[in-house]
Structure 1
Amino acid sequence: MTDEHTVTERRHTAGLDAHLRVERPGFTLDLALRAAPGEVLALLGPNGAGKSTALRALAGLLPLGGGHLRLDGQVLEDPAAGRHTPAERRPVGVVFQDYLLFPHLSALDNVGFGLRCQGRSKQESRAQARDWLERLGLAEHAGARPGKLSGGQAQRVALARALAVRPRLLLLDEPLAALDARTRLDVRSQLRRHLAEFEAVAVLVTHDPLDAMVLADRLVVIEDGAEVQSGTPAEVARHPRTDYIARLVGLNLYQGTGEGHLVTLPDGVRVEAAEEVSGPAFVAFAPGAVTLYRERPATSARNVWELTVTGLDLHGDQVRAELTGPLPLAADLTPAAVAELDLSQGSRVWVSVKAAQTHAYPA
């Protein structure tokens, strides 16, 4: 009975259980994080939101002013009890944005460094490091120093070094930010495979929505030091709850009051949506759902407004038009459509959005 109780207790305490409270002049981080073993949690948010502060607190590089940090049931930090486990004694691996590899050591010895710090012999450390380099496709670069490695290779050496010590918490700080677009695509795919095989908790800090959507099981969006939304990537993308998230996933987002299929915004503009909603509500549609005309259209669309073009920017293979007026919004058009409509800054246009492409949900 005791054994069964112990196993059950371990199952419930496994993983990350943290309440991070850090105060700095003019800024407070107050964030609760929980993740199960095998789960990849992405912290997403604008610059200055508190992502890096949270990562440094988890790593033990920044002391908590309040809250707690438990990993697999072990208390690593509890300010109220005077408990703070130094960074070097935490079962945590970190992959930094600029990798922080030792320039005078080979890739093999960089990977083996943490193992030597754990008291392993040089021979054992090198054997395990060689195994990790092979797993990440770097066996032929074992003797190379960081200066001879490409950005993608250096990133994988840093990942191998972090994984070699078998951490119970893996922290990834903008791990793909320093890579060029082509390398980033390849390394993102490899990183996804290795994270899928990782049996402990991984926390990824990024401002890139694609990295977060591809690599994470769950997103925690932070603004001004606090969580504003969390959920699976699909949930957050479908139902953004702040302007930052809406811009991140490429949606026009508004908040108002729903009554049936209509959502009335604070300034009186009414938007018809596919769903029925009652009370405080969000309403959203993609820039690609917007159609522009130079004259008022004879269309069945209920959502029609006259707006002014305030900006035109290339957005991938399309042009993103920014418009202002009764309902400020972004619209995506082909370059041919921009030419045909003879659009420029200051152009007055009519826009329509079909209700079927407009989505409402409770606020």
Structure 2
Amino acid sequence: MTYLDAHLVVERGSFRLDARLGIAAGEVVALLGPNGAGKTTALRALAGLAALTDGHIALDGRDLDRPETRLWTPPENRPIGVVFQDYLLFPHLSALDNVAFGPRRHGRDRRAARVEALAWLDRVGLADHARRKPRQLSGGQAQRVALARALAVQPRLLLLDEPLAALDAGTRADTRAELQRHLTDHPGATLLVTHDPLDALVLADRLVILEGGAVVQEGDAAEITARPRTEYVARLVGLNLYRGRADGHAVDVGGVALTTADALQGEAFVAFPPAAVALHPARPDGSPRNAWPATIAGIQRHGDNLRIQLTGALSVAADVTPAAAAHLQLTPGREVWVAVKAAETRAYPAS
């Protein structure tokens, strides 16, 4: 059953957000997209910080916003908790009083609010930091205080705006695991806004991809990874992606015929990982059925390998070992041949 039912329409100058979003109780949905896609606008609209131009927001059967009837619920009256990217803890309050702020606003007396806040700090492992001010906390500790403050109001919807972005790599891994545990226990709906695919894959049950103010793809990690539908999504999951016209096992992509393992007819996508791309100094003989000349446009470190960006009839990314790169004398501007075996490609309908 849909717990959050939202149709977010927000117009700002030339930009228009028009996205439908549904989240079930207990579900964590990650909203991803490139800069300017509308992720922050969507979060602010749900929190009541940006007015809807049209559409609606309903939570647990209750309308919060519906412009057509002039219904708008102020942020402080929404059953929503928010963890902002920079946490926005009150600098003059202790960790305990930061967390107690929400219960106090909801009518608890000072003592009851502090008892409740201390219980939440204990749940996030910071009961012994209760009297510290935000400036005395590490980044990971501040993030946990912000999460406790958001959860202390028992929100029906929890909004997380890049909650791990301000952390260093070491702290981030530990805090991500901690956050996952708390999100699993949260009975309401959760929306995680992030640009980091690892955060989304680890923390979310479902991914929603936003581009240009519209939802372009949604599904669980396996669905998104198996069948990306835009170039941004393909980069997100680490695949080369092309759109063309299929006729059996051949897909015409801008004049280049790619042979695929799947037989289709009509508009189709072709995808394959950079690891499936082989580079050769001359046109290869033998098994590769897809080959074309290309020019090396750039070389970057990618984990233990090198990510080679190539231009030509088709732009493509290839992953090779440093040893292979040295052997082939790969440098920017060098002309090589690209080869991809048909068995390593996937084709699927574009519509």
Q: TM-score, normalised by structure 1?
A: 0.95
Q: Which is further off, 100-109 or 87-96?
A: 100-109
Give the distance between the partners of 1:133 and 1:315, measured in 2 at CA. Answer: 39
Task: For residue 56 of structure 2, give the secondary structure of its aligned residue in structure 1.
Answer: strand
Among 92, 99, 109, the alignment partner of 1:111 is 99
Among 222, 226, 242, the alignment partner of 2:230 is 242
Aligned partner of 2:94: which letter? S
Aligned partner of 1:169: which letter? L
Counterpart position of 2:325: 338
Give the distance between the partners of 2:207 and 2:263, measured in 1 at CA. Answer: 27
Matched, 1:312 2:299: yes
Counterpart position of 1:358: 345
Aligned partner of 1:269: which letter? V
Aligned partner of 2:291: which letter? V
Aligned partner of 1:206: which letter? T
Task: For residue 167 of structure 1, give the secondary structure of its aligned residue in structure 2.
Answer: coil
Task: For residue 233 of structure 1, report the CA deviation from its aligned partner.
Answer: 1.6
Give the distance between the partners of 1:326 and 1:101, measured in 2 at CA. Answer: 52
C-alpha offsets along residues 271-300 of structure 1, whole Å, 9 cap, x if unaligned?
112222221100000001111111222221
Give the distance between the partners of 2:274 and 2:144, measured in 1 at CA. Answer: 37
1:72-151 to structure 2, matched below 5 A, reads: 72-151=60-139
Counterpart position of 1:196: 184
Task: For residue 112 of structure 1, report the CA deviation from its aligned partner.
Answer: 0.8
Among 149, 152, 167, the alignment partner of 2:140 is 152
C-alpha offsets along residues 30-66 of structure 1, whole Å, 9 cap, x if unaligned?
1111111001111100111100000000000111110
Give the distance between the partners of 1:297 and 1:83, measured in 2 at CA. Answer: 66
Task: For residue 78 of structure 1, report the CA deviation from its aligned partner.
Answer: 0.6
Task: For residue 316 of structure 1, report the CA deviation from its aligned partner.
Answer: 2.0
C-alpha offsets along residues 211-233 of structure 1, whole Å, 9 cap, x if unaligned?
11111111111111111111112
Counterpart position of 1:290: 277
Among 157, 161, 171, the alignment partner of 1:183 is 171
Instruction: List alignment gaps of at least 5 residues for structure 2.
Output: none
Task: For residue 300 of structure 1, give the secondary structure of its aligned residue in structure 2.
Answer: coil
Task: For residue 328 of structure 1, report the CA deviation from its aligned partner.
Answer: 1.3
Matched, 1:277 2:264: yes
Q: For this pair of structures, how many residues does the alignment match? A: 350
Task: For residue 202 of structure 1, report the CA deviation from its aligned partner.
Answer: 0.3
Task: For residue 110 of structure 1, report the CA deviation from its aligned partner.
Answer: 0.7
Task: For residue 76 of structure 1, report the CA deviation from its aligned partner.
Answer: 0.4
Among 136, 147, 157, the alignment partner of 1:169 is 157
Task: For residue 15 of structure 1, give the secondary structure of its aligned residue in structure 2.
Answer: strand
Aligned partner of 2:184: which letter? A
Give the distance between the partners of 1:84 and 1:328, measured in 2 at CA. Answer: 48
Where does structure 1 differ by over 3 angstroms across 4 or more consecutive aligned residues?
A: none
Aligned partner of 2:277: which letter? V
Task: For residue 179 of structure 1, give the secondary structure of its aligned residue in structure 2.
Answer: coil
Instruction: List alignment gaps of at least 5 residues for structure 1.
Output: 1-11
Among 11, 23, 33, the alignment partner of 2:21 is 33
What percent identity do the matched residue pairs reach?
A: 62
